Amino acid sequence: MKEKLKAIVDEALDKIKASQELESLYDIRVQFLGKKGALTEILKSMKDVAPEDRPAVGQLVNEARTTLEGKLEEMKELFEKKLREEQIRKETIDVTLPAKKTIVGHRHPNSIALEEVERIFVGMGYEVVEGPEIEYDYYNFEALNIPANHPAKDEQDTFYINENIVLRTQTSPVQVRVMEQGKLPIRMIAPGRVFRSDEVDATHSPSFHQIEGLVIDKNITFADLKGTLAEFAKQLFGEDAKVKFRPHHFPFTEPSAEVDVTCFKCGGEGCRFCKGTGWIEILGCGMVHPNVLRMSGIDPEEYTGFAFGVGLERIALLKYEIDDMRLLYENDVRFLKQF
Ligand SMILES: [Zn+2]
């Protein structure tokens, strides 16, 4: 009996030693310790053992079981450890692998320029106001002191929806709508899309953007206008930017002026960018015409004001040194991603 037991234990130990994986350990356990296993068979044959020897044999069988179970557990832990290590090795992140790039877009140069202009004027206490792109003839022309026979009203310049409704040619009608409300003083800019029946070329488009400003209060003079636009130019083009006012004519302002800023490329010495003049035209402006104030119910004897208008595309073209306005509308990402 003793020899038989030893043979069983030795065989089991050999098999455990030779096993290569967790599953074979399971098979070994069944083969030797299971219900029909070799060790269990020995216990079953105890009835053939003399009663006085039974405790000793039982102890031997128990020892054999303990030995085998201990060895099986030891191997099992070894295999599990190996598996874990393998898994960790597989899941290790290779930090030298090239990263997946997320391509982040950005705003259009027009939007960047608009936000820049808005930031400057909001900083000076202006309100940003928007209005309809499809506008009554009255707001677009009449209320701005543009008479019926004015060349701007020519069908060659304006898109007419019908006799009384147009695609706005400027954002000034937004100013009229604000003035009509009668809440004074006014300090506002009106940015937005405007339309003119122009042919597309490097400097023209049937649809473009304007930012118009309006200030109405008591005792507003041309000096306020000059100071405001000088500050605007400095913030937009740098501390050294100077402005120059040239007399001009607009129906809605009197007196009116066109404003040039010193060329930010050459600092005023003259270069290809400013066509050798040292100056670059940026906007039109003037003191609000008394007729315009009167038509919106504001007393020109009590209140005065100034207005200005700047082309957003003009700012973007200058700021980013773009030489063709069409590039701003073609939405070619190879162009746009430069800004
Ligand atoms: Zn220049």
CB atoms closer than 10 angstroms to residue 36: 9
Specify the pLDDT at position 95: 81
**Ligand 1 center from residue 330 Cα (angstroms):** 28
pLDDT in tens, 61-113: 888 888 888 888 888 898 889 889 988 888 888 788 888 888 888 889 999 99
* Whether 256 contacts 289, CB under 8 Å: no
**Ligand 1 center from residue 186 Cα (angstroms):** 36
| Residues spanned by the domain of 40 | 2-91
**Ligand 1 center from residue 262 Cα (angstroms):** 8
Same domain? For 124 and 61 the reply is no
Give the total number of structural domains in the chain: 2
**Ligand 1 center from residue 321 Cα (angstroms):** 12
Between 258 and 100, name the one with better pLDDT: 258
Same domain? For 164 and 223 the reply is yes
Same domain? For 167 and 48 the reply is no
Q: CA-CA distance, 64 to 32, in Å (whole number)? A: 10
Q: Indicate the SS3 state at residue 231.
A: helix
Query: How does residue 37 score in pLDDT terms, banded at 50, 70 and 90?
Result: confident
**Rg of the chain taking only CA atoms, in angstroms:** 45
DSSP 153-168: GSTTT--BSSSSEEE-
Does residue 97 lie in a domain region?
no
Query: How does residue 277 score in pLDDT terms, banded at 50, 70 and 90?
Result: very high
Same domain? For 133 and 168 the reply is yes
Q: Which residues contact 94 (CB under 8 A, 6 or more apart)?
A: none
Does residue 194 lie in a domain region?
yes
List, in sequence order, every beta strand (DSSP E) within the chain: 127-128, 134-136, 165-167, 186-195, 207-217, 243-250, 253-262, 279-288, 304-311
Same domain? For 87 and 134 the reply is no
- Is 269 annotated as belonging to a binding site? no
pLDDT in tens, 11-28: 888 888 888 888 888 888
Does residue 74 lie in a domain region?
yes
**Ligand 1 center from residue 272 Cα (angstroms):** 6
Closest Cα to residue 318, out of 239, 236, 258, 240? Answer: 236
**Ligand 1 center from residue 203 Cα (angstroms):** 19
**Ligand 1 center from residue 170 Cα (angstroms):** 29
CATH number of the domain bearing residue 187? 3.30.930.10
- Average pLDDT score over residue span 309-336: 89
Same domain? For 182 and 53 the reply is no
Same domain? For 62 and 175 the reply is no
Residue 130 has pLDDT above 90, yes or no: yes
Query: How does residue 279 score in pLDDT terms, banded at 50, 70 and 90?
Result: very high
Final residue in a domain of this structure, among 64, 91, 118: 91
**Rounded to a whole number, what is the distance in angstroms from the first to the last CA of the chain?**
92
Q: Which residues contact 271 (CB under 8 A, 6 or more apart)?
A: 263, 265
Same domain? For 86 and 126 the reply is no
**Ligand 1 center from residue 223 Cα (angstroms):** 27
**Ligand 1 center from residue 117 Cα (angstroms):** 22
* Whether 109 contacts 328, CB under 8 Å: yes
**Ligand 1 center from residue 77 Cα (angstroms):** 81
